[in-house]
Amino acid sequence: MANITKKVSWSSRADESAAAGEGTPLLNGSEQPQHSRQLSGGGSLFQIGRLSTVDLEEEITSDEDSLRGRPKEIPHNEKLLSLKYESLDYDNIENQLFLEEERRMSYMGFRCLEISRWVVCGLIGFLTGLIACFIDIVVEQLAGIKYQVVKENIEKFTEAGGLSISLILWAVLNSTFVMMGAIIVAFFEPIAAGSGIPQIKCYLNGVKIPRVVRLKTLVVKVCGVICSVVGGLAVGKEGPMIHSGAVVAAGVSQGRSTSLKRDFKIFEYFRRDTEKRDFVSAGAAAGVSAAFGAPVGGVLFSLEEGASFWNQMLTWRIFFASMISTFTLNFFLSIYHANPGDLSNPGLINFGRFESDSVAYNLYEIPLFIAMGAIGGLLGALFNVLNYWLTIFRIRYVHRPCLQVMEAMLVAAVTATVSFAMIYFSNDCQPLGPEHTEEYPLQLFCADGEYNSMATAFFNTPERSVRSLFHNQPGTYNPLTLGLFTLTYFFLACWTYGLAVSAGVFIPSLLIGAAWGRLCGILLASITSNSSTSAQDSTAIWADPGKYALIGAAAQLGGIVRMTLSLTVIMVEATGNVTYGLPIMLVLMTAKIVGDYFEEGLYDIHIKLQSVPFLHWEAPATSHWLTAREVMSSPVTCLNRVEKVGTIVDVLSNTSTNHNGFPVVVQVSGSDESGKLCGLILRSQLIVLLKHKVFVELARSRLTRRKLQLKDFRDAYPRFPPIQSIHVSQDERECMMDLTEFMNPTPYTVPQETSLPRVFKLFRALGLRHLVVVDDENRVVGLVTRKDLARYHLGKHGLEELQLAQT
């Protein structure tokens, strides 16, 4: 076990008694001092060691309430890492209570449960579609009022002079909306910042993110994204829909609201991590479907993030939720647009239909598309690197809520100022035809019957700007306009992502890529215009600017987020034409390969910066020389099958080690060695047992006492009370607790010599939280947790980045 001394300590509270200001480095390769614990109990506790995990439930508990009252610390501190993030219990605890309940249930009971799952998925899709409809209508109304007021003001002062007043009005309106959105995020629910996709990726990966699926988070997310989009930031409203759908799923599937303290006494069987995870997957897929009108893409998005737990029936239920979501949005938007039954608005973003002639492509264009994919990968890597350093700056200097609000207002004002300056100095005037599609055309200094083309890109919501770049006729934009817009919007979007506002990066990425993609199409058309007449005749088809705008949009989005399978289907479904399925796939693969050479995807960067123990699909390629012995946390605290209550309370109350899982051992008569493994029990189970006083002596004295059932554990889920709230008298401390009925008698175990890739596959495929390492005689020698595995994926470069983020 020579490598044990070099392992990174992920345990949480070993240095909590240290002097103030004495921090413990995170992932720095240094060993944390070991604190031995000697508990009273007459040897009933086996001090086989320390388990390097802590337990805070995914929903907030009293412990978390007390933590929120403490002075705020800059992230990347080991305490915050271990206190905030813990694994989900995706593996069912098949104890005697569980098996008895399952065996009592009839075939009809199981059928009713399956029907209930379909009903829940239908409700998830319906409510997610309603939320998307609400966001779309409110954004359209508020943005319409804002742009109309600013447009009239600009037209007024263009003739009378004093356009600076129009600039101030635009900047003030933007800053006001953004200020409201930033205040509710920074002061009321910080987890609602951003798109929420990294958090949902972590949840589906098996990591508890505190407060990520709470009702308050949903309310702040919806209101925040409305304010961000109306405030003119370089953001989109589509990304947050994935988070919103996941929150809806987590709430509906539990049949109660812990925030409102209302229990509807329905869906009680689903109150466990395994079932909740499945419904959150359906909610995330419904969010993708509502955002892009891509139900299949939504299914594949959830598949990419949590394929280890999928089965055929779950796939169908997720697809059902996605279809209900897009249909609900379609139906209610048709009523809003006074065309009931006209289901032509499948998602929040509507790319419009690409006609067959405009999207036709030839074999010799595929290398051009692949080259554009490489450009998208390079630009995406640059975007991610710049955003990484901006995030590091924010972590160090902009971690107070008031500063976060001020930064968001500054970005809103700068965005308005830059947009106004680009429009003001642009002389790209285009004729305003009778069939123009511009929502708010600005004439400014153009002649009568003309409009400023730069205003079409800046003076509009990002979704309408993307559609304009896709479908406007050739000649609508000149190359200089597109080049300047790409440059300025690239840096604005990079600065904006990571602010304390609810916002997505999908639409800004598409807009940037559509701009430089259309520029590529124009340049290709100009190059071929000097060729023969026959070549000129074909130019209108193969160098169509809208076609290259679509390819550029896919390349830029793929270069930033590095999604391939689901993003290909989403783009194909959103455009309504499968013709470009192959080019889009090649472009996304190229963008990912090129981008990964320089930097990780944007979501992966932010996950790493938050120090989340995220497990990737495969173990590191060079990890076969590592075994479970080197990876495991050792020693481990074990409990006897019949344990003294005082010992259990002391173990759970110990602030130096906040263990979550405890191997249960049985002593071999006549042996002085540690006992053999007979099961595993969780902290949450022990707390429920202490709360209900499940003691051997009390059970003997009160024969009529109600037997503890699984319902008692489900009623406490997910906010299990902290151990400090459990009162145990001195007499009760001397009682004994029999864990036989409640422990998992068949935990997953591996020998010490098991290779790291094999351990990794067990964790990733089965969704494990604990993996017990035993010797040849089935004695516990260590325990592997998610955090023990996650640190091995980082490598040298990842460790250096996290050290830099901490300093």
SS (H, E, C) 594-624: HHHHHCCCHHHHHHHHCCCCCCCCCCCCCCC
Peptide bond between residue 663 and the one before it cis (omega within 30 degrees of 0): no
- One-letter identity of residue 125: G
Sequence-distant (6+) residues with CB within 8 A of 550 are 351, 354, 359, 470, 514, 517, 571, 575, 580, 584
Going by pLDDT thresholds of 50, 70 and 90, the confidence category of residue 537 is: very low
Residues 628 and 765 in one domain: yes
Confidence (pLDDT) at 259: 78
**Contact in structure between 396 and 541 (CB atoms under 8 Å):** no
**Which band of pLDDT confidence, cut at 50, 70 and 90, is reported for residue 592?**
very high
Residue 263's pLDDT is: 85
Residue 118 lies in a domain: yes
Cα–Cα distance between 124 and 282 in angstroms, integer? 8
Residue 27 pLDDT greater than 70, yes or no: no
Pair (127, 270) in one structural domain: yes
What integer is the mean pLDDT of 50-56? 31
For residue 590, the domain's CATH number is 1.10.3080.10
Q: Same domain, yes or no, for 122 and 266?
A: yes
Strand boundaries in 398-518, DSSP class E: 429-431, 450-452
CATH number at residue 20: 3.10.580.10
Residue 218 maps to a domain = yes
Same domain, 220 and 310: yes
Highest average pLDDT, of 95-99, 337-341, 698-702, comes from: 95-99
Domain residues for the domain of 421 are 363-426+462-609
Residues 6+ apart with CB under 8 A from 769: 87, 88, 89, 90, 91, 206, 660, 661, 785, 786
Terminal-to-terminal C-alpha distance of the chain: 31
Q: Are residues 395 and 509 in the same domain?
A: yes
* pLDDT average, residue stretch 422-449: 72
Residue 312's pLDDT is what? 79
Q: What are the tokens at 403?
A: 């500063």
* Three-state DSSP class for residue 339: coil
Please give the pLDDT value at position 377: 95
Domain assignment of residue 676, yes or no: yes
Mean pLDDT of 96-121: 92
Hey, what are 541's tokens? Answer: 């088809």
pLDDT at 534 over 70: no
Q: Report whether pLDDT(567) > 50.
A: yes
Residue-wise pLDDT tens digits, 274-288: 889 899 999 999 999
343: in domain: no
Do 169 and 75 reside in the same domain of the chain?
A: no
More confident residue, 396 or 765: 396
Model confidence at 306, pLDDT cuts 50, 70, 90, reads: low
Give the CA dihedral 392, 396, 401, 407, nearest 10 degrees.
-60
Q: Are residues 179 and 304 in the same domain?
A: yes
The residue that leads in pLDDT, 310 or 602, is: 602
Highest average pLDDT, of 47-51, 389-393, 454-458, 474-478, comes from: 389-393
Percent of the chain with pLDDT over 70: 81
Are 581 and 631 in a shared domain? no
Is the same domain home to 637 and 601? no
Query: pLDDT at residue 125 above 90?
Result: yes
Maximum mean pLDDT: which of 56-70, 257-271, 665-679: 257-271
pLDDT digits (tens, 9 = 90+) for 541-558: 456 788 899 999 999 999
Q: How confident is the model at residue 531 (pLDDT cuts 50, 70, 90)?
A: low
Is the same domain home to 660 and 766?
Answer: yes
Among 609, 636, 657, identify where a domain stops.
Answer: 609
The answer to whether the beta carbons of residues 546 and 570 sit under 8 Å apart is: no
Which range is least confidently modeled, 52-56, 138-142, 605-609? 52-56
pLDDT tens digit string along 134-181?
A: 999 999 999 989 988 888 888 887 777 778 888 899 999 999 999 999
Q: Please indicate, yes or no, whether residues 495 and 378 belong to a single structural domain of this protein.
A: yes
552 falls within a domain: yes
Predicted local confidence at residue 799, as pLDDT: 39
Q: What residues have CB less than 8 Å from 477, skipping those under 6 apart?
A: 428, 453, 456, 457, 469, 518, 522, 545
Note the pLDDT of residue 456.
75
pLDDT of residue 249: 95
Place of tokens 């506790």: 45
pLDDT at 437: 60
Helix (H) or strand (E) holding 45: strand 45-48
pLDDT of residue 698: 75
Q: Is residue 437 part of a domain?
A: no
Could you tell me if residue 91 is inside a domain? no
- Domain boundary at 548, 575, 609, which? 609
User: What local confidence, expressed as pLDDT, does residue 157 receive?
Assistant: 78
Q: Is 795 a member of any domain? A: yes
Confidence check: pLDDT of 349 > 80: no
Residue of 280, 268, 266 whose CA lies nearest to 208? 280
Q: Provide the number of structural domains found in the chain.
A: 3
Q: Are residues 296 and 400 in the same domain?
A: no
User: Using 50, 70 and 90 to split pLDDT, how confident is the model at 439?
Assistant: low
Last residue in a domain, options 609, 642, 670: 609
Per mean pLDDT, which range of 47-51, 555-559, 765-769 is the poorest? 47-51
pLDDT tens-digit readout, 222-268: 999 999 999 989 998 888 999 999 999 999 999 888 878 888 888 98
% pLDDT > 90, the chain: 38
- Find how far residue 36's CA is from the centre of its chain: 38
